Amino acid sequence: MSQFSIRPAVAADLDAIQRIYAHHVRTGLASFEETPPDLAEMTRRWQAIAEAGLPYVVAKGASGEIAGYAYAGAYRPRTAYRFTVEDSIYLDPRFVGKGLGRALLARLIEDATALGKRQMIAVIGDSANHASIGVHRAMGFEMTGTFKAVGLKFGRWVDSVLMQRSLGPGASNTPTN
């Protein structure tokens, strides 16, 4: 992993972030979007995460290119969910299989824990996404369920796999705020 550095995302990273995400929307099942969002929409999404004070990070390769990105967004908007985040990780296809997804997830776990979050949820597109399921399992996530055939993409039904991991003290006590 020494060939990568992970840091908070900045506006200058958004072209690469949009390109990476567009690739996954067009070719994969990790996202249930069918049309890649443009740069303005990706900028709006990044700003919303940043304004909420949640982590949004990029991994830079040795030659300075953005190799992947990850963020922890609010799991749901209602206030009772305020201690729970949902992770998202997307890699440039040239950097898959090099441990980068695991490193980005480790950073999200660390950052979200430091913010006082107590649970992290993974909503993984496609029950055949063994790489994502495996990375999450290796990082302490447990399978909590599968929604069968909830998405229709590329002419086929796709599942959503749900995994969960406690952060910090998890549910062992109740936060005071």
- The pLDDT assigned to 28 comes to 96
Tens digits of residue pLDDT in 91-133 = 999 999 999 999 999 999 999 999 999 999 999 999 999 999 9
So where are the chain's domains?
A: 5-166
CATH of 5-166, one of 3.40.630.30, 3.90.650.10, 3.60.15.10, 3.60.10.10: 3.40.630.30
- The pLDDT assigned to 1 comes to 52
- The pLDDT assigned to 15 comes to 98
Q: Which residues pair with 57 in a beta bridge?
A: 8, 70
Q: Which three-class secondary structure state does DSSP give residue 15? A: helix
Tens digits of residue pLDDT in 16-34 = 999 999 999 999 999 999 9
Q: Which residues pair with 147 in a beta bridge?
A: 160
pTM for this structure? Answer: 0.95
Helix axes 130-138, 100-114, angle to 10 degrees: 50
Q: Which three-class secondary structure state does DSSP give residue 25? A: helix
Tens digits of residue pLDDT in 140-153 = 999 999 999 999 99
Tens digits of residue pLDDT in 36-84 = 999 999 999 999 999 999 999 999 988 899 999 999 999 999 999 999 9
Neighbours of 162 (CB within 10 A): 17
Contact call for residues 73 and 24 (beta carbons, < 8 A): no
Q: Which of 95, 119, 81 is nearest to 4 (CA)?
A: 95
